[in-house]
């Protein structure tokens, strides 16, 4: 059972994914999410990366819709998403594979590192709007080199989706969460 912190974190993602604001996640919300990611420069200019992004985003919808009702359903509520998140610690490979695709999509200049600016684009893309992040990047960048490597990113991404510990830096991966201030 998730804590109030975990629920707040997942609720923020639920609200970001719910493109039409109807209180449910539906396939069209994941289509809209994929379309937001397709606007990122590196994704927009690369058909192979576009296909990978779409496959990951819509793949998660397929998984969620199947897990939620024991078979494909058309709508998912927050409790359904929470049940899926509770399973993610046992799905580490899928979580890391998603991190890999997101990393490639956000790494605008293809240098194999995520900068503060690129991380900001990640947060804004997830949420579909500009989100003030304050010192979030500094808290993610544990070695203080000004970048997130692919391995750092994968660890932080995994923490975001699986951690129930507000002290773990990965919980800030998609922006500030209630209980973890931006500044």
Residue 179: pLDDT over 50: no
CA–CA gap between residue 139 and residue 136 (Å, rounded): 5
**What would the two tokens of residue 107 be?**
């790494």
Most confident of 3-7, 90-94, 141-145: 141-145
Q: What is the pLDDT of residue 68?
A: 72
CA–CA gap between residue 44 and residue 136 (Å, rounded): 27
CA–CA gap between residue 39 and residue 32 (Å, rounded): 11
Q: Which pTM does this prediction carry?
A: 0.91
| SS3 readout for 25-45 | ECHHHHHHHHHHHHCCHHHHC
From the number of C-beta atoms within 10 Å of its C-beta (0-12, 13-18, 19+), residue 56 rates as: buried
Task: Report whether 15 contacts 64 (CB < 8 A).
Answer: no
CA–CA gap between residue 155 and residue 71 (Å, rounded): 31
pLDDT tens figures, 65-114:
887 766 678 899 999 999 888 888 899 999 999 999 999 999 999 999 99
CA–CA gap between residue 141 and residue 120 (Å, rounded): 13
């Amino acid at each position: 059972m998730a804590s109030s912190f975990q629920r707040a974190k997942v609720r923020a993602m639920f609200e970001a994914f719910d493109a039409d604001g109807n209180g449910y996640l539906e396939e069209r919300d994941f289509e809209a999410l994929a379309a937001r990611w397709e606007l990122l420069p590196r994704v927009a200019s690369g058909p192979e990366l576009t296909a990978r992004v779409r496959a990951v985003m819509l793949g998660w919808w397929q998984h969620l819709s199947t897990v939620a009702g024991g078979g494909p359903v058309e709508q998912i509520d927050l409790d359904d998403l929470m049940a899926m998140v509770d399973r993610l610690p046992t799905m580490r490979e899928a979580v890391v594979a998603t991190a890999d695709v997101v990393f490639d999509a956000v790494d605008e200049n293809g240098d194999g590192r995520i900068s503060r600016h690129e991380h900001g684009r990640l947060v804004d893309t997830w949420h579909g709007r500009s989100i003030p992040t304050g010192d979030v990047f500094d808290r993610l960048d544990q070695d203080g080199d000004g970048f997130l490597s692919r391995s750092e990113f994968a660890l932080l991404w995994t923490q975001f989706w699986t951690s129930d510990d507000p002290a773990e830096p990965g919980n800030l991966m998609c922006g500030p969460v209630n209980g973890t201030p931006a500044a």
